[in-house]
Chains A and B, each alone.
Chain A
Amino acid sequence: MSTLALRTFTLLQTMTSVGLSAMAWAVTGVRPIWNGSQPSDRQRIYFANHTSHGDFILLSACLSETERAKTHAIAAAEYWGKSRLRRFIAQDMLSSVLIKRQWTSEAEHPISIMLSVLDQGHSLIIFPEGTRNGSDELLPFRSGLYNLSIARPDVELIPCWIENMSRVLPKGQFLPVPLLCRVVFGPPVAVAPGEERRAFLQRARETLLALNPRPDRDD
């Protein structure tokens, strides 16, 4: 897979990212709430709840232009690699990195692809639920978050709660309803010494859930 050759800062990508961030602001008035962490250019893995295709656009709209250029969303190759157009949008315009859910060869191993991005000094946006989820509950986390943290303990894991996107662009719709959204960036999470995988994933999930600014909402 050619995803490892990350062509950042191309004109197309810069224009797309500026354009999409402006659009995200026009539609959702998106603003970051730094609640436990601060904007920083250090290497990070942002992990967020996943309810819509617009999620990572909103999240990256909250980052500075330079951070955005070296932050890549991880997307499913089963969806984004399906046609040449989708692949072009995902890789050449949005500079996301495609991984296969059903991988066959070692070169397609999701973790090794993600690690190779980190090894170039870049940051990641991942959705540990693994799929889009229509509610404000969180599905159980996949183990990728744990494996990445064990392999690269010096990379910060930042939980990010993306508010309201399930209402703006529900699964199956393609026109967004303009509603106000916030992205809450929480305190970094790290694997404690000796902490086992399941306990860590549970703790990371709870940290993310705790960031929901309006947990009592039921829509």
Chain B
Amino acid sequence: MRHEISILIIGLFVVLSTASVIAGILSMRAPKPLSATLVNLTQRINAWWVMVALMTIAFFFGRYGMTILFGLISFAALREFVTLTHSRRSDHWVLLGMFGIVIPFQYWLVWTAWYGLFVIFIPVYCFLLMPAITALHGDTERFLERVSAQQWAIMISVYCVSHVPALLTLNVPGFEDRNLLLIAFLIIVVQGSDVLQYIFGKLFGKHRVAPNVSPSKTWEGLIGGVVASSLLGALLAFITPFSPLQAAAVAFVACTMGFLGGLVASAIKRDQGVKDWGHLIEGHGGMLDRTDSLVFAAPVFFHLVRYFWTV
């Protein structure tokens, strides 16, 4: 596995260095003051350096690193989601429980690989018990809106995100002790697809997919990005249990889900009247702005691998 990880790190280093050099040359040649797009591009690339560095560090700590890292990502994402949506004073204890009980318990289930409870704890038990607590409080003002927002918040930020470290619990024959590479594959392909959609969209984008939801998502960006990242997935087949063709197909599904995740996140933001979820990552917005695609891709990727490749 060392060999594959070295190749990935060198590959990412080369890609990011190239991006930084290109952005530097563009900024040098461009008329001053720099356009907002160019400033944002540089910020985004700089943030990528930090994110890749953090992921790499977490990688070296293996199962511990991944579980803690994604637990923290869930925390940041949940905080952004709850901040944005409507809540009332009587929701205080439910909100506290989402941060103090739901996140730690869900990641404990990931840690102990208790699959049976991991898949139903949030969609069944939290789904039923949280509105029950709210109802016991007796505050019925905008009840359905509040409990729906809470449910969505933990589904998106905790349940879906926790499927990334849960990949470590899968038992793929002939792939023992190498499950970290499944996480690397998923993240590189899905985040790569985001970047490639951005590049294709900026270069060729004309026809918008859903003009009422997001002005920046175009058919040219979508098709170019998803096709290119499926090819990237095929190239990365050597780090996976998949054949190149299978890798391309899995990447295609994950990236398509990722696109839908971005679209749904845009719809929620538009509904709530904001452009970004937060400001945690310079140039990108909040944690959810960066992970919205991963959120939708992770559970589907997890179940594809679990159904077709595990025993």
- List chain A positions with a Cβ less than 8 A from chain B: 29, 31, 134, 164, 166-167, 170, 173, 175, 177-180, 216-219
Leading 3 A-B pairs by shortest Cβ distance = A180-B83, A177-B95, A179-B83
17 contacts between A and B (CB under 8 A): A29-B279, A31-B279, A134-B89, A166-B89, A167-B89, A170-B89, A173-B92, A175-B100, A177-B82, A177-B99, A178-B75, A178-B79, A179-B82, A179-B83, A180-B83, A180-B278, A219-B88
Residue of A nearest to B90 (CB): A170
Contacts of B83 in A (CB 8 A): 164, 179-180
Residue contact B80 to A180, C-beta cutoff 8 Å = yes
Query: A180 CA to B276 CA in the complex, in Å?
Result: 13
- Which A residues are CB-close (under 8 A) to B95? 177
Decide if B280 is an interface residue (CB 8 Å cutoff). Answer: yes
Which residues on the B side are within 8 Å of A167 (C-beta)?
Answer: 87, 89
B79 adjacent to A219 (CB under 8 Å) = no
Question: A219 and B278: CB pair below 8 A?
Answer: no
Please name all residues of chain A whose beta carbon is closer than 8 Å to the beta carbon of B202 when the two chains form the complex.
Answer: none
CB distance from A134 to the nearest CB of B (A): 7
Do A29 and B278 touch (CB < 8 A)? yes
Contact string against A for B residues 274-307, beta-carbon threshold 8 Å, 1 for contact and 0 otherwise: 0000111000000000000000000000000000
Give 20 A-B pairs besides A29-B79, A173-B92, A219-B88 with Cβ atoms closer than 8 angstroms: A29-B278, A29-B279, A31-B279, A134-B89, A166-B89, A167-B87, A167-B89, A170-B89, A175-B100, A177-B95, A177-B99, A178-B75, A178-B99, A179-B79, A180-B83, A216-B273, A217-B86, A218-B86, A219-B86, A219-B87
Residues of B at under 8 Å CB distance from A?
75, 79-80, 82-83, 86-89, 92, 95-96, 99-100, 273, 278-280
**Shortest Cβ distance from A122 into chain B, in angstroms?**
31
When distances are taken between beta carbons in the complex, the residues of chain A under 8 Å from B100 are 175
| Most chain B CB neighbours (cut-off 10 Å) among A134, A218, A219 | A219
- A29: B residues at CB distance < 8 A: 79, 278-280
Chain B residues whose CB sits within 8 angstroms of the CB of A173 once the complex forms: 92
CA distance A180 to B278 in the complex (A): 8
Q: In whole angstroms, how far apart are the Cα atoms of A31 and B286 in the complex?
A: 13
- Give complex CA distance A81, B83 in Å: 34
**Residues from chain A with Cβ under 8 Å of B273 in the complex:** 216
CB distance from A110 to the nearest CB of B (A): 30
- Complex Cα distance, B83 from A31, in Å, reads 14
The winner among B75, B89, B279 for most chain A CB atoms within 10 A is B89
Closest beta carbon of chain A to B135's beta carbon, Å: 18
Q: Which B residues are CB-close (under 8 A) to A219?
A: 86-88
**Cβ of B75: which chain A residues have Cβ within 8 Å of it?**
178
Residues of A within 8 A of B82 (CB): 177, 179
Q: Which residues of A contact B89 (CB under 8 A)?
A: 134, 166-167, 170
In the assembled complex, the Cα of A29 lies from the Cα of B86 at a distance in Å of 19
Please name all residues of chain B whose beta carbon is closer than 8 Å to the beta carbon of A216 when the two chains form the complex: 273
A180 touches B87 (CB 8 A): no
- Shortest A173–chain B CB gap in Å is 6
List chain B residues, Cβ under 8 A from A134: 89
Among A31, A166, A175, A180, point to the contact of B79 (Cβ < 8 A).
A180
Q: Is the CB of B86 within 8 A of A175?
A: no
Least CB separation from B94: chain A residue: A177
